[in-house]
């Protein structure tokens, strides 16, 4: 099922044929630089199943991102309910993304995320959308800034699921945009 389309991209449900691309990005050290570890093919498959289950159950989740012309998958993008109490209250919705390196620096994530923010505020009537990343993940915070999201230092947190063996990946910065702010843009 197609959720959204933009000029160059399609956001859609996962297909069985997306599994190799999803596994490739989750195993790529460059893509996973700001995560505690890379994922095996089996773990990646389980993560895709989990993403699809959440989409089925809640209508929110990380969808496949594909090129519109060919339907080739290039990564994922979506809105998801956070599971980070007490740092982010239940009910908070984040926007997140991950792309195979060969598709970086072409504006694809910003293009898809603009459409996903609209979808979140209009179709899901969300009051606010947040995004968070390791402080040094400047490629990701640059996307947040391009989307008009603003850093809210009062909500920055030490990620509870990052192991103590990776202290440099614990501190996360939180960016946010409210519906009113988005409408004004």
Ligand X SMILES: CC(C)(COP(=O)(O)OP(=O)(O)OC[C@H]1O[C@@H](n2cnc3c(N)ncnc32)[C@H](O)[C@@H]1OP(=O)(O)O)[C@@H](O)C(=O)NCCC(=O)NCCS
Q: Residue 65's closest CA among 99, 28, 41, 39? A: 99
Q: Does residue 66 bind ligand X (CB under 6 A)?
A: no
Residue 29 neighbours by CB distance under 10 Å: 9
Binding residue (CB under 6 A) for ligand X from 3, 23, 126, 143? 143
| Beta bridge mates, 73 | 66
**Which x/- pattern, by CB under 6 A, does the window 16-55 give for ligand X?**
---------------x--x---------------------
Q: How many residues at the interface with ligand X, by CB under 6 A?
A: 18
Between 27 and 125, name the residue whose CB sits nearer to ligand X: 27
d(CA 89, CA 18): 32
Q: Does residue 117 bind ligand X (CB under 6 A)?
A: no
Q: Does residue 157 bind ligand X (CB under 6 A)?
A: no
- Piece of 15-23, 37-45, 102-110, 177-185 that binds ligand X (CB under 6 A): 102-110
Q: Is the peptide bond before 150 cis (omega within 30 degrees of 0)?
A: no
CA distances from 113 to 26, 44, 109, 122 (A): 20, 23, 6, 14
Q: Does residue 99 bind ligand X (CB under 6 A)?
A: yes
Shortest distance, position 20 Cβ to ligand X, whole Å:
17
CA distances from 125 to 49, 58, 117, 178, 179 (A): 26, 14, 10, 11, 8
Using CB under 6 A as the criterion, which residues of the chain lie in contact with ligand X when the complex forms?
A: 31, 34, 97-99, 104-110, 133, 137, 139-140, 143, 146
């Amino acid at each position: 099922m197609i959720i959204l389309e933009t000029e160059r991209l399609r956001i859609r449900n996962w297909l069985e044929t997306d599994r190799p691309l999803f596994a490739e990005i989750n195993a790529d050290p460059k893509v996973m630089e700001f995560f505690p570890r890379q994922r095996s093919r089996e773990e990646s498959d389980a993560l895709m199943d989990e993403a699809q289950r959440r989409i089925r159950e809640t209508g929110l989740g990380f969808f496949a991102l594909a090129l519109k012309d060919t339907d080739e998958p290039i990564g994922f993008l979506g809105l998801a309910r956070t599971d980070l109490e007490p740092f982010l209250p239940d009910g908070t919705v984040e926007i997140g993304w991950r792309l195979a390196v060969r598709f970086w620096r072409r504006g694809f994530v910003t293009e898809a995320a603009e459409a996903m923010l609209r979808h979140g505020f209009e179709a899901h009537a969300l009051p606010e959308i947040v995004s968070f990343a390791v402080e040094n993940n400047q490629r990701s915070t640059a996307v947040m800034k391009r989307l008009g999201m603003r850093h809210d230092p009062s909500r920055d947190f030490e990620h509870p699921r990052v192991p103590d063996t990776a202290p440099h990946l614990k501190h996360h910065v939180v960016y946010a945009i409210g519906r009113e702010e988005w409408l004004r843009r």
